[in-house]
Amino acid sequence: MASQTAAEALDRLGPAHAALLQQSDLQFQLSRAAQPKPPPWVEWLAKLLKPLADSLSPAAKALAPLAPYIFWTGVALGAAFILFLIGQRLFAVKRGVVIGGLKLSAGAEPWRPAPEQARALLEEADRLACEGRFVEAAHLILLRSIQDIQARRPRAVAVSLTSRDIARLEVLPPSARLLFAGIAEAVEISLFGGRAMDGEGYARCRDAYSSFVEAGSWA
């Protein structure tokens, strides 16, 4: 019974296959795609470089046995260079040398503006305060404080930073940061907060700047 069913299936397979081959919407023979021809400039470049390749071919064959040694030597040199850079950076951080212009060397002397410069600034600010222009006087002190920070921490103060941003710079020592923040806050409240500054407020800014420029604030 099973053999008879198989025989019947084989008898039906032949006509079904023939009918399948007669269908025009099916493709049974696939032609090989033509290999694309390279552009003329590639052939021109190959002809131009052929003499060079022929001249280097003997050298390449001679160096073929040394290729693994050349490869691993290059890897070792690259790893040694990376370790050198890492060691140099770690040594720089440990010694506190300048990295990106933001950190002072460990043996550098604390910076402070020349006494005559600070004195001239305070005299100008006091003149404005005597005229009752306390906000302008405090603003002058703030601008000079920012200049002092730029001199002490080159490239730390970007043009886009506000006084509040500068007061949060981690490159500033805590004492200098606190003093500058006091000056910046007083000026900000007066200029943008609409709160008038009196002589007492100016005196606090003046005292803060006097302490700000002291060497101990930057030690």
Non-local (6+) Cβ contacts of 198 within 8 A are 134
Query: Phi then psi for 166, rounded to 5 degrees?
Result: -65, -35
Whether residue 84 is predicted with pLDDT greater than 80 in this model: the reply is: yes
Whether residue 183 is predicted with pLDDT greater than 80 in this model: the reply is: yes
User: How far is CA 200 from each of CA 123, 138, 149, 175, 197, rounded to the nearest angstrom?
Assistant: 17, 11, 25, 22, 8
Q: Which residue has the tokens 């696939």?
A: 30
Quick: pLDDT tens for 140-178: 888 888 888 887 777 777 777 888 888 888 888 888 888
36: left (phi over 0), alpha (psi -120 to 50) or beta: beta
* The pLDDT of residue 130: 92
Average pLDDT, the chain: 75
Q: Compute the distance between CA of residue 114 and CA of residue 29 in angstroms, rounded to an integer.
A: 93
Q: Which residue has the tokens 């030690």?
A: 219
Q: Compute the distance between CA of residue 44 and CA of residue 150 in angstroms, rounded to an integer.
A: 59
Instruction: Quote the Cα angle for 42-43-47, to 5°.
Output: 115
- Please tell me which residue, 135 or 194, carries the higher pLDDT value: 135
Instruction: Quote the Cα angle for 132-136-140, to 5°.
Output: 130
Instruction: Report DSSP state, residue 34.
Output: P
Q: Compute the distance between CA of residue 219 and CA of residue 106 in angstroms, rounded to an integer.
A: 10
